Amino acid sequence: MPATILEEGPGWDDTETAVAWGRERAPIVLVRVGRDEHSIYSAGVTPATRFAGGSGEPYRQWPGPEADPKAT
């Protein structure tokens, strides 16, 4: 079976559960907490960049629930 470039999950009630789900499946995990490019974080073992293959600006590292405006 070929690798999947993007897999969307079933939906979650909190971000940390979603991040854990992603980390179980891929070395590169992105978290988007807003609508624009500035709200994307890298949360996987392998740091994510704007473009595939490691080119482009790196995304900021996911700091945890404090970055999520919906976290309680």
- Using alpha carbons, list the distances in angstroms from residue 31 to 1, 5, 18, 35: 26, 15, 9, 11
Full-model pTM: 0.75
Write out pLDDT tens, residues 11-50: 888 888 999 999 999 999 999 888 998 899 999 999 999 9
Domain boundaries defined on the chain: 15-67
- Using alpha carbons, list the distances in angstroms from residue 15 to 1, 2, 19, 36, 48: 29, 28, 6, 17, 18
Q: What are phi and psi of 39, to 5 degrees?
A: -105, 15
For residues 21 and 67, which has the higher predicted lDDT (pLDDT)? 21
